[in-house]
Structure 1
Amino acid sequence: MLLIVWAVNAAGTRFFGEMEFWFCSIKVITIIGLIITGIIITAGGGPNHEPIGFRYWNETGGFVQYEGIGGAKGRFLGFFSVLIQAAFAFIGTEITAIASAETADPRKNVPRAIKGVWIRLVLFYVCSAFMVGLLVSPTDPSLDLSSTAAKSPFVIAIKNAGIPALPSIINAAILTSAWSSGCADLFVSSRTLYGLAARGHAPKIFLKTRKDGLPWVSVIFCGAFSLLSFMAASKGQAGTVFGYFSNMTAICGMISWTCILWTSLRWHKGLKVHGIDRKALAYTAPLQPYLSYYGMFVCIMVMIFGGFGSFIHTFNTSSFITTYFPIPFFAVLFFAYKFWNKSKMINYADMDFVTGSSMDIPEEPTPQTLWKKIAENI
């Protein structure tokens, strides 16, 4: 799998986009098929003809108690304890904006792609998570948190329903999803490292590119870290360490989101100071700046209180460090950079909204029929 991930990224942005199209097509078909299959199984349409309904929700009241703590407190802690893992699943949704620098006609294509992100999140994350909650009991022994595709809740539900052959097909589809995620992660990390080098925040060696513009040194360097994924195959101490890595990655992702939201708030304020109407922009996020404030508040709360499990019963040093270490580490790097380079926050009046931007409004596309719009969105 890693060889495919490396090869796709080494082939360049155009090939990466083409492969992502096919990977995403498989994921869309798989998720829609799983949701439909889940509805059928829940209604008793499987070979065992046993309706499930909300049976498993009735077992727990919709919330699993955390570490045996009873009552509303245990249910709330059970909900809050999975927010970091949920954030880990959502990391990467910002890839649309990151890839804009290498996107043809970004004023047209990036806004169109961003507008479809929430639809994908609702369909692929919310709906699928809802179906998993209906299909599999949280006490099912098959949910042992191992890393194999056979432990997917959908695969477990299909096996429990007695549907032959389909679990193997789903396993294959899950592998393509893993390929897609790996390709996207390597793409984003290598471009981010290249961007840091271009701004003087990383060694200049990462600025080296091929004739087609591929930052090959950044791709190789970031790709080397993918070898750490073999730790997930271990059931011993290495597997535990990999779990800590994923936890730290989620916290780092929320730090990145917080920075993005903070930048958005300053951008919004800067536009007001310069008297620029947001309607003149190619894309404007809805309900701003209020959603940015809300998102930043949630990220900060999860980062601060996400490691509460370290204090339950006996103090867990490893969990505490992996949850909270990224926060002071980021703060040290941030203020050390500010001190060393004597840089200051740019005043709103000094913000440059002209350099590097194109204010040319693209021509309106010709009206399309309903079926063409549906096909294009799919």
Structure 2
Amino acid sequence: MTTKALGNGPILVDPIDPVAATENSPLLTQQISNPSLLVPDDHDGDLVTATEDQNLKRGLAQRHLSMLGIAGSIGTGLFLGLGVAVKKGGPVGALLGYAVIGSVVCAVQFALGEVAALLPVTGSFVRHSEFLIDPAWGFAIGWNLVYGNILSIPSEITAICVLFQYWTDINPSVFIVTFIIITVAVGLAFVRVFGEVEFVFALLKIFLVVFLVILGLIINLGVVPGTEQIGFKYWRDPGPFVEYIATGNWGRFLGFWAVMTGAVFSFAGVESLAMAAAETRNPRRAIPRACKRVFARIIIFYMLAVFVVGLLVPSNHPRLGSGNTVAQSPFVIAAEAAGIPAIASIVNAIVITSAWSASNQSLLAGTRVLYGLALKGQAPRIFLRTTSWGTPYMCVLLFACFMCLSFMSLSSGAMTVFWWLVSLTAAGVLVSWASILLNHMRLHRALKRQNISAELLPWHNWWTAYTSPAAFVMCIVILLTGGFTVFTTGNWDAATFVTHYLDIPIVLAAYLGWKFSHRTRVVSLDKIPLRDAFAQAAQYMDEPEAKNRWRMISWIWD
């Protein structure tokens, strides 16, 4: 029997049986019951470390995680972006496109849940990549996420200013300062405050989606006085599919493919629910539950919304995709046509909360990835400093400095530069999804190589061995073809090319730069310390579940 240092102390591991520590080992039981045997050690930051276990506070519950995933993916992509999907692909093309990407999201969620349940670390799949693939890859996608989130917050604040202009012409700097202050305040607060804020915002979004879907069906059926029944009229004329760029079946296929590439960014954010795993209560139980339930809710909401939008507005309507204001929302277009103009203000208000919610999530995800990089020595150690209530305040303060980029929106020239910077990380969603799926595939290959049954994982689903490779291939194909329009005759656009492709060489340069400068190697499947991970998992006993005080609406996340 040998002793191996882990994040919370040495684990007694039988070298013959790789998972002996997880199967009622009396030596492991003795060690857990005797705290004096636990000697804190950071284990090179691969597993849950003593630093994050002691300095971060577990304030997020499973309901917070579920609603965090929902709040992160239901936003402008749903309220404003569905019109673009119908315009490019037609009602059926949009429905099929979102169904395909929804299947990819399903695979990503289940892959993330399986790995995060075994390795519930701060930084989530970034740290998983270092453990399962190569420290250099973790460095590359980690800093890409930090950079993307640093820029996404001022972009969301800028969007808030544009949305407020629908109601008022007050100087935008007032809104910029206000939202910078409240975003930083939430970021510095106890993580449960963030969880509760996102919980409320997610409820608002869900209720609005349900309301809009019901309203859309009422309008479609002609129940509103003075309106006619629409039915499937727009599926017949202008038709179920739209010819995009080309003509005939090829043009209809390109329309469907354009919907898929756009749908990816509508679902962006579902992967962020495990970023604060070390700040989550019972992470090995809560994260899988959240992954499973978030997927189901989002697919239902999106598929219903896409279906209803395809019924309400013809794909050739001139206002679809005609700007970044609430006026382009297909729900608003349909409501105004039915004589209900007040819907525009309701949607605008919820979209503003969506934008602020997105900035909060970017702050949480970005700061926790930065904290995780600092644990691994891939960022300055100063970013490990936390408040007495467990918030990495130096990470938050760095992000607060970059929030001032939102003032660039006051100048048209500076705004152009700013959006170019934001565009650099637009493909980061697909890079993140591909990394999550690759982590999962490497985990299963390592389990097989080390003769460990996958059924010993804290959460396991037999089909993920097949869905992860298929979804990984799909992510790579969409990543490489996402900007296909710029390669067609007469459609070259530098901004579109940057949006879809420049992030690829940036990530590769970061990976190769760290790899050659620090001489890292792809981790051998035989040497991935899975025994350590299983042993640490055995140390953390689940706390009893709290009493459900939300029975009337808990179906949303339970």
The TM-score, its normalising length taken from structure 1, stands at 0.88
1:27 to 205, 212, 216: 205
Distance 1:89 1:224 in 2: 27
Distance 1:224 1:83 in 2: 35
Distance 2:547 2:464 in 1: 29
Distance 1:65 1:237 in 2: 35
Which residue does the alignment assign to 1:327? 504
Which residue does the alignment assign to 2:537? 358
Distance 1:241 1:40 in 2: 44
**Are 1:141 and 2:141 an aligned pair?**
no
**Are 1:307 and 2:483 an aligned pair?**
yes
Structure 2 counterpart SS, 1:94: helix
Distance 1:263 1:202 in 2: 22
1:228–1:33 Cα change, 3 Å: farther
Which residue does the alignment assign to 2:191? 13
1:41–1:239 Cα change, 3 Å: farther
Structure 1 counterpart SS, 2:427: helix
- 8 A Cα contact 1:307 1:319, kept in partner: yes
Which residue does the alignment assign to 1:168? 345
Instruction: Give the Å deviation of 1:151.
Output: 2.8
- 8 A Cα contact 2:326 2:344, kept in partner: no
Distance 2:509 2:228 in 1: 57
2:214 to 29, 32, 36: 36
Which residue does the alignment assign to 2:442? 266
Question: CA RMSD for the aligned pairs?
Answer: 2.8
- 8 A Cα contact 1:35 1:127, kept in partner: yes
- 8 A Cα contact 1:111 1:283, kept in partner: yes
- 8 A Cα contact 2:332 2:341, kept in partner: no
Distance 2:234 2:401 in 1: 42
**Are 1:49 and 2:227 an aligned pair?**
yes
**Are 1:255 and 2:431 an aligned pair?**
yes
Instruction: Give the Å deviation of 1:93.
Output: 0.5
Instruction: Give the Å deviation of 1:30.
Output: 1.0
Aligned letter for 1:120?
R
Structure 2 counterpart SS, 1:264: helix
Distance 2:207 2:556 in 1: 15
Distance 1:245 1:335 in 2: 22
1:242–1:127 Cα change, 3 Å: farther
1:152 to 313, 318, 329: 329
Aligned letter for 2:481?
F
- 8 A Cα contact 2:224 2:338, kept in partner: yes
- 8 A Cα contact 2:438 2:472, kept in partner: yes
Instruction: Give the Å deviation of 1:345.
Output: 1.1
Deviation string, structure 1 residues 98-123 (Cα, Å, up to 9, x no partner): 22221011122212111102112212
**Are 1:109 and 2:286 an aligned pair?**
yes
Structure 2 counterpart SS, 1:46: coil
Distance 2:367 2:272 in 1: 12
Instruction: Give the Å deviation of 1:233.
Output: 8.6
Aligned letter for 2:429?
G
- 8 A Cα contact 1:84 1:250, kept in partner: no
How many residues are treated as equivalent by the alignment? Answer: 374
Structure 1 counterpart SS, 2:324: coil
Distance 1:230 1:63 in 2: 41
- 8 A Cα contact 2:426 2:503, kept in partner: no
Deviation string, structure 1 residues 31-73 (Cα, Å, up to 9, x no partner): 1111111111111122332222222222343222223x21111
Distance 1:232 1:129 in 2: 32
Aligned letter for 1:38?
G
Structure 1 counterpart SS, 2:333: helix
- 8 A Cα contact 1:150 1:171, kept in partner: no
Greater CA deviation, 354-363 or 43-52? 354-363
The TM-score, its normalising length taken from structure 2, stands at 0.61
1:14–1:373 Cα change, 3 Å: closer
Instruction: Give the Å deviation of 1:334.
Output: 0.9
**Are 1:336 and 2:504 an aligned pair?**
no
Deviation string, structure 1 residues 140-197 (Cα, Å, up to 9, x no partner): 2222442223432212221111124333223222222222222112111111111112
1:243–1:146 Cα change, 3 Å: farther
1:202–1:303 Cα change, 3 Å: same
**Are 1:74 and 2:251 an aligned pair?**
yes
Q: Which 5+ residue runs of structure 2 have no aligned equivalent? A: 1-178
- 8 A Cα contact 2:384 2:394, kept in partner: yes
